Amino acid sequence: MFRGIAHTLTYGFERATRTYQSFRFAFLYGNPATRIENDFAGPSDYTKINGQFHFSYSYDPVDLSRGSVHYYFGPRLSYTYSLSYLHGWDSHAYWGNYLSLGPSNVVRVDLGDDRAWQTTLDLALIGFYSRPDLIRRYKVKDWSLWHILKLTNERYSAGLWSNAFQLQLATEYRSPILGPRFLALAYSCYYSRITTDEGRPLQELIHRIGARILL
């Protein structure tokens, strides 16, 4: 089990009328460590580099809004590319990629004076995923961009929620700051589990706390 702090950069847009649409892009980078590393090894002995790209698009045509409470529901398409390199352990590349489809849920409560509280719940239930082989005899020597992209996207399998599942819960408070701009203070929880017939599943649990500027 690896734990640590990761840094995330996000960008997106949303449009809420009678339907709700949103696009999200996130890049995450971290260098988590195991308890073995923290207790017995120096910081240069073992290193895990973890990076993740995430794209998602939601189209929620179902609008069940009542008064100041707005609820939108619809499908969501997403792609997650997660790559790790364990230097000092076995110097192999590990990845868990998932192109998925699932439901999107958005609840926004208008608090007056242009303030709002918004919560989203997104699930990834079906799609296609890619994981490395359980036993690999050779290390990755060519770490060029195109070689890594080819290596980590060579083989995809169809998956259901039982072997490829993602959940993301996010909530944020929005308040106007300058003109049409808003400041959003946000918290989100992301969980992913991808497993094959062989080997242990790749499980990721990420808690995010941050702020966004809405233009």
User: How is residue 33 written in tokens?
Assistant: 């460590």
Alpha helices in the chain (DSSP H): 35-40, 145-151
Distance CA 118, CA 18 (A): 16
| 1 within domain boundaries | no
| 183 within domain boundaries | yes
| 18 within domain boundaries | yes
The residue ranges of the chain whose pLDDT is under 70 are 1, 33-47, 87-91, 135-138, 141, 198-199
State the pTM of this model: 0.84
CATH code of the domain in which 57 resides: 2.40.128
| 134 within domain boundaries | yes
Distance CA 207, CA 203 (A): 14
pLDDT of residue 104: 97
Q: What is the pLDDT of residues 136-179, one digit of tens each?
A: 666 776 778 888 888 888 888 898 888 899 999 999 999 999 87
At residue 148, the 3 state secondary structure works out as helix
**Residue 62 in contact with residue 73, Cβ under 8 Å?**
yes
Question: Can you name the residues that pair with 101 across neighbouring β-strands?
Answer: 77, 126
| 94 within domain boundaries | yes
| 70 within domain boundaries | yes
Q: State the total domains in the chain.
A: 1
Sign of the dihedral through C-alpha 162, 208, 44, 39: negative
Domain with 188 in it: 6-214
